Amino acid sequence: MYKAFITEDEYPARLRVKKLLSAYSDEIELVGESDNGKGAIEQIEQLRPDVLFLDIHLPDMTGFEMLAKLTYQPLVIFTTAYEAYAIKAFETYSIDYLVKPFDAQRFKKAIEKLRKFGQQKKTIDYKKLEALLVEKTKKTVSTSLPIKMKDRILLVEYTDICFLKAEDKYVQIFTESGKSYLSDQSLGHFEKSLPDLFIRVHRSYIINRTFIGEIRKYFKGKLILIMKDKGGTSITTGSTYSAGVRRLLGV
Amino acid sequence: MFVFAGLHIFYFYTSKVSIQEYETAEIYQSSGITAPNWSNPIAGDIFIVIDSSASINYYKIASGSNFENLNVLPGKFTFQSEDGKNIYDDMWTYEFVNSDLLYADTLQRYTLDEFNTLKKNAQLTHGFRFHPPKKPWDIHPFFFFPYQLIIHSVISFFVIWLFGYLSAYLPGITSLSKKLIWITLTTILIFTLIEFAERLSGLADLRFPAYTKFLIITLGLVVGLKYIKNRWLYKLKFFDQEAAKFVFILITSLTLSIFATLIQVSLGISTFPEPQNVYNFNFIGKLIYEIGPLSLVFCIAIATGNFLNNFRMHFFNLRKEAKALKAAQKNELKFQSEIESLQAKINPHFLYNSLNSIASLAQEDPTKTEEMALALSNFYKDTTNRQDQHTVSVEDEMNLLQTYLKIEKIRFGDRLEVLFDCDESIKTQEIPRFLLQPLVENAIKYGYNADENKTFVKIVANKLEDKLVFRIIDHGPKFPDDLGTGYGLRSVQKKLKLFYPEKHQLAFINNPEKQVYIEIDV
């Protein structure tokens, strides 16, 4: 007899799992349910179920984080709303995964797997699984730069940003239209988080290479870059950066 | 540049200056009645000219000007021949020669030998040796020196190029005062360079003060044109405007020329070296001479140049307008298609999740199933019925959000709590469709507060001065510094940018209350 516990964010989904499980009441006993990670951990530690029906996306943490916090390792059948998560690794590292909506046939297969592999007691590396998951789902590339200034964050689209200039304690971000924003983050921070379109050309300047209007040669191998913003700002490359910039721009 | 060249050529062919063949002319003091005054040759003094054929002729100074610094400045005076004709109407240089003195009571002709005898006998002492100009074009240096022609042309071209180059880097010389400053500077520059070139070529001439009259005329014209344009011309059609401007420039520049020249002549400044008769002219004569062909050409050049330039600008602007119209039409199409694509993409996950929930609830909880199905239907009824409407009233958007939240409430039960706070005054204000829905969706997704075991969301809409303010508040974990743009945020950004370019603000605030803040300038 397996003791099962449902950790599922949404009420209808919980209801569904419960309904489907009821068909296997002779081998699986439902001992509890929760709609959040914290509550689930508390109950699981107490009730010690053998198998978990676990939603990957819980409101306060991921399913993996929750598992990492448990003192023991139960068997897990993951549930998820996204097909993208259905990677091979799930089959290796867990009993099974179920994609919503759960239909009876698929659920049946999962229970069969449970019967078959339940006794094997494989040690599951959830961290690795989580890492693979994160890998696969990192498709949404951000199109805007978050600019933090005191208590607020503004999002400015990368395609609007012409260049960034480091001032005394702030960095000023200039857009094509001439509008500028101040941020209290450092230029180094932006250098790391900005996409490849942005080049650090000077100790105090990062530019968006799509806004380079003209390139002029200057002394000592430096370049003068005239930007396509409203004011036609010209930026001279710094001595340490000039060689790299020239290589990147093919000058 | 072409004007300069034209003037050069014009004067070269029309002027009646003869080319001197004489190598030297020497002036000696005349009558022995009074002691000779060598510092000041005056009218009446006689001089001897020895020409290349070695014949000696006496000539009397018919008129002259006072000399100071004799060895330095060129003298200006005319010589009268025996038969009373005035000759040598050009500028001759001279030097003070401490040679022998010749006294002559009357006009006499000497042969070269006789002259040399007299000289040897110390009967000729001090005098002035006059050297005619070395080259033909030295006579009218401003107009006949081909090198000067080249220099003037090169300088004009350079200045015009410099002007054009620099003005590309000045953000538009549109204001009148800026135009005047530019014209003044350019003209002074041109004239200074001409002066410089002339001095370099060894011919210094005080023409700078005379050139300023052209500067004054040009400035006067620019101001005058602006004035009449604003007062009278704007009513006329383009060609009439231009014709009127042409006539105005002609008349005004001529008038101003006359006026400026009046002053100039009164001050005794001349633009050109004197021709034969000019100092025999009376005042009116001098005036007409000074105004001369140059001013006329100048005025016509300005009038024509302005006319042609305005034509060019006019057609340029017409083409620009056509281009702008085309671009605007293109933008409108682009706008429409972007809106449509944004509208179509209501987060598909929402529909997916809702249908999942309905499937899940169908057997266990038929009441909730019905509720959800109807709510979903209502939600999409709004979406589909108003396909071509890009904006909705704030009230309608709030109602839509209520419908949306009804669905979400079924999914999350009591865990989700939502409050609305909408100002009555803005309920009819139009905003882009589904502007707020993605933000509310995010608030539900990320707004869970573990301590309260609740997802609390508050939607506030009110007016702040002239701006619409929307705030979506939740009690979840604070926004991270590396906030990315998921689908939802991007559509909100795009809509704000499309509908309110440069007139909106979208900020993610953590303190004092976590919220998404939208400000729209309507």
Task: Count Cα atoms within 13 angstroms, Cβ side, for B170.
Answer: 13
CB-based contact A170:A189 (threshold 8 Å): no
Please say if the pLDDT value at position B75 is more than 50: no
* Closest-CA residue of chain A to B351: A81
- CB within 8 Å: B509 and A15: no
A9 CA to chain B: closest CA distance, Å? 7
- Which pLDDT score is estimated for A62? 84
If you measure CA to CA, which chain B residue comes closest to A104? B360
Q: Sheet harboring A75-80: ordered strands across?
A: A28-34, A2-7, A51-55, A75-80, A96-99
- Torsion-angle region of B461 (φ positive above 0: left; ψ -120 to 50: alpha; else: beta): beta
Q: Which of B391, B411, B402 is nearest to B520 (CA)?
A: B391
Comparing CA positions, the residue from A35, A69, A41 lying closest to residue A55 is: A35
Task: Please report the pLDDT score of residue A41 as a whole number.
Answer: 94
> DSSP letters of B422-473?
E-GGGTT-EEETTSSHHHHHHHHHH-EETTTTEEEEEEEEEEETTEEEEEEE
The candidate with the shortest Cα–Cα distance to A237, out of A250, A212, A218, A211, is A218
Q: What angle do CA B280, B286, B291 make, to 5 degrees?
A: 155
**Do the interacting molecules here have an ipTM over 0.95?**
no
Q: How far is CA B461 from the centre of its chain?
A: 48
Of the candidates B361, B479, B517, which has its C-beta nearest A12's C-beta? Answer: B361
pLDDT at A207: 93
What confidence category does residue B231 fall into, taking pLDDT thresholds of 50, 70 and 90? Answer: confident
Contact (CB<8Å) A38/B450: yes
- Which of B185-194, B321-330, B420-429 has the highest mean predicted lDDT (pLDDT)? B420-429
Chain B within 8 Å of A46 (Cβ-Cβ)? no
Give B359's pLDDT tier (boundaries 50, 70, 90).
confident
Question: Which positions in chain A touch B497 (Cβ < 8 Å)?
Answer: 157
Query: A51-55 and A75-80: which strand pairing?
Result: parallel
pLDDT beyond 90 at A117: no
Q: B115 near B48, Cβ under 8 Å?
A: yes
**Quick check: A6 contacting B, CB < 8 Å?**
no
Binary contact (A193, B502; C-beta < 8 A): no
Task: Specify the DSSP element, H or E, that contains B315.
Answer: helix B283-344
Q: Are B26 and B127 in contact (CB under 8 A)?
A: yes
Contact criterion met (CB < 8 Å) for A15 and B485 = no
Q: What is the pLDDT of residue B245?
A: 74
Edge-to-edge, what's the strand order for the sheet holding A223-227?
Answer: A212-217, A223-227, A234-236
CB atoms within 10 A of CB B254: 18
Is residue B286 classed as helix, strand or coil in its secondary structure? helix
**Residue B447, pLDDT above cutoff 70:** yes
Q: Could B411 and A157 be called an inter-chain contact, meaning their C-beta atoms sit closer than 8 Å? A: no
> Among A87-91, B46-50, B380-384, which stretch is predicted with the lowest mean pLDDT?
B46-50
- What are the Cα distances from residue A74, in Å, to A37, A43, B162? 15, 13, 82
pLDDT for residue B330 is more than 60: yes
The answer to whether B361 contacts A81, with C-beta atoms less than 8 Å apart, is no
Cβ B132 vs Cβ B25: under 8 Å: yes
Candidates B171, B356, B485; nearest CB to A100: B356
Interface contacts A/B by beta carbons within 8 Å = 113
**Residue linked to tokens 């913003």:** A229
Tell me, what DSSP letter sits at residue A240?
A: T
| Optimal mutation site among A7, A16, A134, interface B, most CBs of chain B within 10 A | A16
Q: What is the pLDDT of residue B196?
A: 65
CB atoms B171 and A36 under 8 Å: no
- Residue A21: what pLDDT? 92
Q: Collapsing DSSP states into helix, strand and coil, what is residue A156?
A: strand
Residues of A in Cβ contact (< 8 Å) with B479: 153
Higher per-residue confidence, B102 vs B81: B81
Residue burial B127-165, b: 16+ Cβ < 10 Å; e: rest: bbbbbbbeeebbbbbbbbbeebbebbeebbeebeeebee
Q: Report phi then psi at B395, rounded to 5.
A: -60, -45
The answer to whether A81 contacts chain B (CB < 8 Å) is yes
The span from the CA of B382 to the CA of B377, in Å, is: 9
Q: Could you confirm whether domain B348-521 is CATH 3.30.565.10?
A: yes
- Asked if A231 has any chain B CB less than 8 Å from its own CB, the reply is yes
Output phi, psi for B92, to 5 deg.
-115, 145
Angle between helices B366-385 and B394-412 (to 10 degrees): 150
Contact criterion met (CB < 8 Å) for B412 and A11: yes
A221 DSSP 8-state letter: G
Residue A216 pLDDT exceeds 70: yes
A143–B485 C-beta distance less than 8 A: yes
Å between B449 CA and nearest CA of chain A: 7
CA contacts within 13 A on the Cβ side of A37: 19
In the predicted structure, residue B145 carries a pLDDT above the cut 80: no
- Per-residue pLDDT of A47-76, as tens digits, reads 999 899 998 888 888 888 888 888 888 888
Average per-residue pLDDT for chain A? 85
Q: Are B20 and B133 in contact (CB under 8 A)?
A: yes
- Contact assignment for A142 to B485 by CB distance below 8 Å: yes
The domains of chain B are located at 21-132, 141-324, 348-521
Torsion sign across C-alpha atoms A31, A33, A39, A41: positive
Report d(CA B195, CA B497) in Å as an integer. Answer: 58
Is B319 a residue whose pLDDT tops 80? yes
Is the pLDDT confidence value at B519 over 90? Answer: yes
User: Residue A75: its pLDDT value, please?
Assistant: 86
* A144-249 has the same fold as A2-137: no
Q: What DSSP line would sit under B222-281, residue for residue?
A: HHHHHHHHHHTGGGS-HHHHHHHHHHHHHHHHHHHHHHHHHHHHHTT--SS---TTGGGS
Contact call for B412 and A12, based on CB within 8 A: no
Could you tell me which residue, B209 or B101, shows the higher pLDDT?
B209
Residues in chain B within 8 Å Cβ distance of A36: 448, 450, 453
- Residue A161 confidence (pLDDT): 93
Check if A102 contacts B (Cβ < 8 Å).
yes
> Using 50, 70 and 90 to split pLDDT, how confident is the model at B402?
very high
CA A207, CA A226: separation in Å to the nearest integer? 11
Read off the pLDDT of each residue in B258-285 and give the average, rounded to a whole number: 55
Q: How far apart are CA B253 and CA B181, in angstroms?
A: 19
State the average pLDDT over residues B367-386: 84
Architecture of domain A144-249: Beta Barrel (2.40)
What residues have CB less than 8 Å from B511, skipping those under 6 apart? A151
Q: Which has the higher per-residue pLDDT, A79 or B231?
A: A79
Q: A230 at the B interface (CB within 8 A)?
A: no
Q: Cβ contacts of residue B51 below 8 Å, gap of 6+?
A: B21, B22, B23, B57
Q: Does A148 touch chain B (CB under 8 A)?
A: yes
pLDDT attached to residue B517: 94
3-class SS of residue B474: strand
Confidence at residue B278, expressed as pLDDT on a 0 to 100 scale: 39
Q: Is A12 on the interface with B (CB under 8 A)?
A: yes
The C-alpha atoms of residue A145 and residue A19 are separated, in whole angstroms, by 46
Find where tokens 């198998």 sit.
Answer: A51
- Do B30 and B46 touch, CB atoms closer than 8 A? yes
Average pLDDT of the residues in B115-135: 47
- Which residues in chain B have Cβ-Cβ distances shorter than 8 Å to A216? none
Q: What is the pLDDT of residue B395?
A: 92
How close B373 gets to chain A, by Cα (Å)?
A: 13
Beta bridge partners of A122: none
Min CA distance, A120 vs chain B (Å)?
32
* Amino acid found at B67: F
Instruction: Tell me the C-alpha distance between A51 and B94, whole Å.
Output: 123
- Across the interface, whether the CB atoms of A39 and B411 are under 8 A apart is answered no
- Quick one: average pLDDT of B459-464? 93
The tokens for B38 are: 């060598």
Partner B, chain A 169-208, Cβ-Cβ below 8 Å: 177, 179, 185, 193
What pLDDT score was predicted for residue B166? Answer: 47
Query: Cis (ω within 30 of 0) for the bond into B146?
Result: no
Range of lowest pLDDT (B150-159, B299-308, B398-407): B150-159
> Residue A178 has what pLDDT?
83
Helix/strand/coil for B100: coil
Nearest to A36 by CA among B515, B230, B257, B450: B450
Residue type, B213: K
A11 touching B, CB under 8 A?
yes
**Interchain pair A140, B486: CB under 8 A:** yes
Is the pLDDT at B9 greater than 50? The verdict is: no
Q: Which fold has domain A2-137?
A: Rossmann fold (3.40.50)
What are the tens digits of pLDDT across the range B97-124? 333 333 222 223 344 455 556 556 644 4
Mean pLDDT of A237-242: 90
Looking at every residue in chain B, the average pLDDT score rounds to: 65
CA B480/CA B478 separation, integer angstroms: 6
Yes or no, beta carbons of B365 and A15 under 8 Å apart: yes
Higher-confidence position of B225 and B322: B322
A226, containing H or E segment: strand A223-227
Q: Is a pLDDT exceeding 70 seen at residue A115?
A: yes
Annotated domain spans of chain A: 2-137, 144-249
